[in-house]
Amino acid sequence: MRQLLLPLYIIFFAALSLACKKKTGTPQDEKQVKLRVLGYLLSDNNWHTAVNSIDLSMITDLNLAFLNPGPDGSFSIGPAVRQVVDKARTADVRVFMSIGGGDAPAHLAELIKPAKRSDFVAGIVALAEQHGFAGVDVDLENDLINADYPAFVAELRTALKAKNKLMTAALASWNAGKIPDATMRSYDFINIMSYDKTGPWNPANPGPHSPYEMAVNDFNYFNQTRGVAAEKLFIGLPFYGYGFGTNAPASAWYKDLVAQYPGAENADEVTVNGGGKIYYNGLNTIRQKVAFALSSKAGGVMIWELTQDSRDGKSLLKAVNDKIRE
């Protein structure tokens, strides 16, 4: 009997030790989940208010948008950013700093050129280390995907990997054709911007800007045409809509649509007074896209943007989580 007690005693305290390490250690960057849920959080430096408006238990990854440098390449980031990172990490959420954006500062074009590139990369990596980011999300779009883009990505990748940090990208099928395969493969995962097929910039082409078929076609492009592994692809979900026609707003957040138009959560378009329409993704389309992500073995889904959601029974983020748990 005493011979049995010693192994049991050792096993008990070994298990206790492992449990304590799990509770007190850093979040597991590669925790096993059926589908990762990444959300962008947009803030004009009011990060406390922004992060407190979302339910961190419903996401696995958080991209802070956007942390861009000044013309000299230096970053001016307040302490609130580190506090947001710490809060998210406590909830076992990976946090990335996202640079660029659809309306990125024009001076980024100069910073990724050879003369300033190394200093810019060093500043990005230093900021990622200082604030505890899991990695960097490269959201360079439009004219910033140029001849300097591949070399910038390669140098940033090397520097981040040396610090055991990830590098991701926000890409769309309409701009990815300008990116070499080797550059595409250097990303740990890609957030596919499966939205903005049309919008207020193209009033002659009214209609859905993010239909289900677009998500499928975009995924197939990156996966089959470009050869990116399914588990490295996150399918984009819009939490906003675009308006066309008389009296329709240029854009609208999902939470405002469902508050203003009863039953809007069960549709993908609403008609405004005067005959204009707003197109968006309602609950059914979001569920359909999540189901596709699961069936195609995608790595996750990506949301633009978390504060645009309705925090009630009509929540798109809740619908995403409910579908994953089925």
**pLDDT confidence of 23, banded at 50, 70, 90?**
very low
Both structure tokens of 36: 């990762």
Mean pLDDT taken over the chain: 91
**Could you write out the DSSP letters of every residue in 172-226?**
-TTTGGGS-HHHHHTSSEEEE----SS-TT-TTS-S-SS-HHHHHHHHHIIIIIS
**pLDDT confidence of 32, banded at 50, 70, 90?**
low
pLDDT at residue 16 above 90? no
pLDDT at residue 11 above 60? no
Q: What is the pLDDT of residue 31?
A: 55
d(CA 54, CA 88): 11
State the pTM of this model.
Answer: 0.90
177-207 residue pLDDT tens: 999 999 999 999 999 999 999 999 999 999 9
Q: Which position has the token pair 């440098």? A: 69
Q: What is the pLDDT of residue 14?
A: 43
d(CA 49, CA 43): 9
Contact 16, 81 (CB under 8 A): no
pLDDT at residue 48 above 90? no
pLDDT at residue 29 above 60? no
Please give the torsion angle defined by the CA atoms of residues 119, 125, 128 and 134, in that order, rounded to the nearest 10 degrees.
Answer: 150
pLDDT at residue 37 above 60? yes
Both structure tokens of 155: 């140098």
Whether CATH 3.90.1300.10 fits 33-239+281-325: no
Both structure tokens of 236: 């984009």
Contact 149, 183 (CB under 8 A): yes
The arithmetic mean of pLDDT across residues 8-35, rounded, is: 48
Q: What is the pLDDT of residue 33?
A: 85
Q: What is the pLDDT of residue 226?
A: 97
Q: What is the pLDDT of residue 168?
A: 98
pLDDT at residue 9 above 90? no
pLDDT at residue 25 above 50? no
3 state DSSP class of 64: strand
- 27-63 CB burial, b ≥16 within 10 A, e <16: eeeeeeeebbbbbbbbbeeebeebbeebebebbbbbb
**pLDDT confidence of 21, banded at 50, 70, 90?**
very low
72-101 residue pLDDT tens: 999 999 899 999 999 999 999 999 999 999
132-153 residue pLDDT tens: 999 999 999 999 999 999 999 9
Neighbouring residues of 68: CB distance < 8 A, sequence distance ≥ 6 = 75, 99, 100, 101, 104, 105, 108
Q: Which helix (H) or strand (E) holds 22?
A: helix 2-24
